[in-house]
């Protein structure tokens, strides 16, 4: 068994590339969350991902590809890169790649013939994105393939946003496997990429399968077409699995301004609030509660969301209450993860 974190300053790109060519698993930093990566062209390596995550083999993986080096013609570059993995690259995909890649957007396209069934989950589409993290970009640019990578957590658990989270996740289940975790620091976006399905453009138009920090409004600005949101798709994606990011402690959402006596409990609870902490502490000074501030900036909330949920879950609270989030598209990715966490919480 071997699982280890390599500190940033000790990472050697060629060594990592060699390991990937040998079919090893590498945990890579991205701007969203850490990924559990393997060569997208190597079925033996891909199988290791499913085994280690304990993930059903019919759940498709995202292929991570390199962005162009500075001197390249960007449109031509994306066209040729996407054509490696997709048999049908619509102009909207190129426009979105130019606008948002490298960045937290995954685009679903019709797959090309040689994409492995392990990547597609046996479906006729493939998910692709170019992540924005300098280290991972260097690896992808040195690799003559793509990296298939789901989030580096065990199936059904909160995604990791630090190298240590990945270590903690797999240390007890690593068995005979080898996992090298590249420490690229904490993830800057903090929740997984927006997933946009462009594989059914003619029939249903563009569809968001998983909201993220690139919003439907951002996408609309580039492709000028109304975007649908599809929570009940027959297509397999983690958006379809409610309760996917579940803490063990019971989690609720409630406007903390409107809390009353009955919301407090016999044991300590944790409350995450947009409200004024001093006033709240004073108002509820007799209650068993720890207060946590919720920043107004959705980017900051997303960046810290999973870390906060992990931290709160370790405190042994009777329950955790999360303030109600604003009803605006920039919050929809965060709302989505929170709703899932609430749905699956307290069941362990």
Residues that bind Mg ion (CB under 5 A): 151
CB of 133 to Mg ion, least distance (A): 17
Cβ-based neighbours of 56, under 8 Å, separated by 6 or more: 50, 155
Distance between CA atoms of 213 and 192, rounded to whole angstroms? 8
What is residue 208's three-state secondary structure?
strand
DSSP state of 137: H
CB of 150 to Mg ion, least distance (A): 5
What is residue 255's three-state secondary structure?
coil
- Name which of 30 and 332 has its Cβ closer to ligand TXA: 30
- Name which of 145 and 324 has its Cβ closer to ligand TXA: 145
Binding-site partner at residue 46 among Mg ion, ligand TXA, none, CB < 5 to 8 Å by type: none
- Name which of 103 and 270 has its Cβ closer to ligand TXA: 103
- Name which of 62 and 269 has its Cβ closer to ligand TXA: 62
CB of 209 to ligand TXA, least distance (A): 6
Cβ-based neighbours of 252, under 8 Å, separated by 6 or more: 319, 320, 321, 322, 342
Here the tokens at position 217 are 């409004």
Binding-site partner at residue 235 among Mg ion, ligand TXA, none, CB < 5 to 8 Å by type: ligand TXA
Binding-site partner at residue 123 among ligand TXA, Mg ion, none, CB < 5 to 8 Å by type: ligand TXA
CB of 69 to Mg ion, least distance (A): 29
Burial letters for 68-103: b for 16+ Cβ neighbours within 10 Å, e otherwise?
Answer: beeeeeeeebbeebbebbbeebbebbbbbbeebbbb
- Name which of 209 and 280 has its Cβ closer to ligand TXA: 209
Binding-site partner at residue 162 among ligand TXA, Mg ion, none, CB < 5 to 8 Å by type: none
Binding-site partner at residue 209 among ligand TXA, Mg ion, none, CB < 5 to 8 Å by type: ligand TXA
- Name which of 77 and 155 has its Cβ closer to ligand TXA: 155
Which residues lie near ligand TXA (CB under 6 A)?
Answer: 30, 32-33, 35, 59-62, 104, 106, 108, 120, 123, 125-127, 131, 149-151, 192-193, 195, 209, 235-238
Distance between CA atoms of 303 and 191, rounded to whole angstroms? 7
CB 277 within 8 A of CB 293: yes
**What length does the chain have?**
348
Helix, strand, coil % over all residues of the chain, rounded to 5? 35, 20, 45
In the block, residue with structure tokens 């965060």: 334
CB of 191 to Mg ion, least distance (A): 10
Here the tokens at position 135 are 């280290």
In the block, residue with structure tokens 């690139």: 214
Binding-site partner at residue 332 among ligand TXA, Mg ion, none, CB < 5 to 8 Å by type: none
Here the tokens at position 306 are 């999973």
CB of 184 to ligand TXA, least distance (A): 12
Beta strands 289-293 and 228-229 are unpaired
- Name which of 33 and 280 has its Cβ closer to ligand TXA: 33
- Name which of 30 and 151 has its Cβ closer to Mg ion: 151
Binding-site partner at residue 40 among ligand TXA, Mg ion, none, CB < 5 to 8 Å by type: none
Residue closest to Mg ion, measured at CB: 151
CB of 237 to ligand TXA, least distance (A): 3
Helices (H) and strands (E) in the chain, counts: 12, 16
CB of 56 to Mg ion, least distance (A): 12
């Amino acid at each position: 068994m071997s699982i280890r974190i390599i500190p940033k300053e000790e990472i050697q790109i060629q060594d990592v590339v060699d390991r990937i060519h040998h079919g090893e698993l590498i945990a890579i930093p991205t701007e969203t969350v850490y990924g559990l990566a393997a060569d997208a062209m190597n079925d033996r390596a891909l199988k290791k991902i499913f085994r280690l995550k304990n993930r059903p083999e019919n759940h498709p993986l995202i292929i991570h590809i390199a962005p162009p080096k500075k001197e390249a013609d960007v449109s031509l570059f994306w066209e040729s890169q996407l054509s490696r993995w997709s048999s049908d690259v619509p102009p909207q995909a190129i426009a979105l790649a130019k606008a948002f890649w490298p960045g937290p957007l995954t685009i679903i396209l019709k797959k090309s013939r040689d994409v492995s069934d392990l990547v597609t989950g046996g479906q006729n589409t493939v998910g692709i994105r170019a992540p924005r993290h300098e280290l991972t970009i260097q690896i992808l640019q040195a690799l003559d393939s793509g990296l298939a990578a789901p989030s580096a957590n065990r199936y059904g658990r909160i995604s990791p946003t630090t190298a240590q989270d990945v270590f903690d996740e797999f240390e007890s289940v690593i068995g005979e496997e080898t996992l090298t975790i590249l420490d690229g620091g904490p993830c800057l976006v903090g929740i997984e990429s927006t997933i946009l399905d462009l594989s059914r453009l003619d029939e249903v138009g563009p569809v968001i399968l998983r909201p993220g920090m690139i919003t439907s409004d951002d996408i609309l600005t580039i492709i000028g077409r109304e975007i649908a949101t599809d929570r009940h798709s027959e297509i397999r994606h983690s958006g379809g699995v409610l309760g996917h990011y579940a803490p063990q402690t019971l989690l609720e959402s409630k406007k903390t301004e409107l809390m009353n006596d009955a919301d407090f409990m016999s044991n300590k609870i944790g409350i995450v609030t947009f409200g004024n902490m001093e006033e709240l502490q004073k108002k509820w000074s007799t209650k068993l509660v720890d207060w946590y501030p919720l920043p107004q900036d959705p980017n900051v909330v997303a960046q810290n969301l999973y870390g906060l949920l992990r931290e709160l879950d370790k405190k042994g609270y009777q329950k955790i209450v999360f303030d109600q989030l604003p009803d605006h598209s920039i919050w929809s990715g965060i709302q989505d993860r929170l709703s899932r966490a609430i749905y699956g919480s307290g069941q362990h």
